[in-house]
Structure formats: structure tokens, C-alpha cells
A and B are shown apart, each in its own frame.
Chain A
Amino acid sequence: GAVVSQHPSWVICKSGTSVKIECRSLDFQATTMFWYRQFPKQSLMLMATSNEGSKATYEQGVEKDKFLINHASLTLSTLTVTSAHPEDSSFYICSARDPGGARTDTQYFGPGTRLTVL
């Protein structure tokens, strides 16, 4: 149980194009999902909190127009990197919070998406 998937696992794109990353909770409903960015050998940097049916809450310094987040259902959140540039190359990880039962307050993480912008 508590499985979170991400797609794609890796993507290479040209500078200026947009890339969409999907995050799905497979066996539970997640009212809240989180998007992180991780640089090599560093900790996770929270980019935004995604709430089902409402606008995402972005952390300070994260451009909301560049990193578009949509949480259309209780099992799916998407992150779109618009007009990607080489500096956006990174490892993006999502997590989903299971709100109920014994797994309350626990975030479960997806396997991550490696984005490389040429």
C-alpha cells in the first residue's frame, strides 16, 4: 500500500519547450500532494503544495508561472515546467499525503523524474 507513481521517470527536452510530469497516488486518495526539487547530493527543496480542487501554494522564490501545478483529482497532480531552460535541469520528486487511518500524516514519495534541458 501507499504507492505513488511518477511519469515520466526521465525526460530530455530542448530549451524553450514545456514538460509535464504526472504524480499519482495509486492506492489512496491524496487531498494534498507536494512537489520537490533535488540537486545532486543535496536535500529536497519544497517547491509547492498542491491541493485538490484549489490553487497550489508556492514556496518563496518559486515562479508560479514557470512551474504550473494542477491537482485535478484526488489521485493526480501534474507539474508543468514551462519554457524550460538548462538551469531547470534537476530531479523532481512528488509526494502524496495519506490523510486517513494509520498512515495519517505520512508523506509517500514518487520515484522521481530526471529532467535534462538541452
Chain B
Amino acid sequence: AQSVAQPEDQVNVAEGNPLTVKCTYSVSGNPYLFWYVQYPNRGLQFLLKYITGDNLVKGSYGFEAEFNKSQTSFHLKKPSALVSDSALYFCAVRDILGSSNTGKLIFGQGTTLQVKP
């Protein structure tokens, strides 16, 4: 079965320090991986995606993620955290087993990032 796991419910980091939000996946074949961010009472904002190519993907707001096939991971990173980065982060993988190929996503449970001044 396809799945995405975000092992940490919450990550706390001091402003200016590097941050990592972890994500591991389980899929058949090559994964399409995504990171989204959600601010309170808002929809999800697309940060970045990996489909093919360079394992290090750069996205919006200074975020990047590294695709690691051997560890089946796609951790989200940022070199220097900002207080404004505090939000709920979701990792997702495209469901490639569905017969209709609609691009349905399977989401992780989400990780709350708290950046303290």
C-alpha cells in the first residue's frame, strides 16, 4: 500500500537555526513527492515537488527538500528559520495505483513547525 509518514507531530526550532521536517514514503515505482504548508484557517500552499531529476529540490520561501531513494525519504529543510515559518507542514505522494490516474494525493499527518524568536 502507498503511504506517507511524518514521524514528528511538532518540531521546535529557534529563529536563525536550520530546520528539518521529516517525511518518509512507501510507494510502488517512482514517487511524485510534494510539500505543502498550511497557515491557520487557510488552505494549503504549494512549496515544492520532486518528480524526476536532481535529488535536491528548491522551492518557495527558501525551502528545499532532498529526495533520498535508498532511505525512501523526502525531508524538508531550510538553512535559517524565521518566526513566520511557523505553520503546519504536509508531505504528500501522488497515488499512482489508482486506475483513473487523476493525480490524487496521499497526505502525511502533518507536522507543526514552531519557530521561536
Contacts and interface: CB of A to CB of B under 8 A. Distances in A.
A62 interface: no
A32 B105 CA distance: 12
Interface size class of A (residues with CB under 8 A): 20 to 34
B102 A49 contact: yes
Interface bin, chain B: 20 to 34
Contacts of B42: 111-112
B36 A43 contact: no
Contact of A105 (B43, B51, B110): B51
A91 to B, nearest CB: 8
A112 B45 CA distance: 11
State the 5 A-B residue pairs at the shortest beta-carbon distance, nearest first.
A109-B43, A109-B44, A111-B43, A112-B43, A97-B103
21 contacts: A6-B43, A34-B104, A41-B88, A42-B110, A43-B90, A43-B108, A43-B109, A43-B110, A49-B100, A91-B41, A93-B43, A95-B43, A97-B102, A97-B103, A105-B32, A105-B49, A105-B51, A109-B45, A111-B43, A112-B41, A112-B42
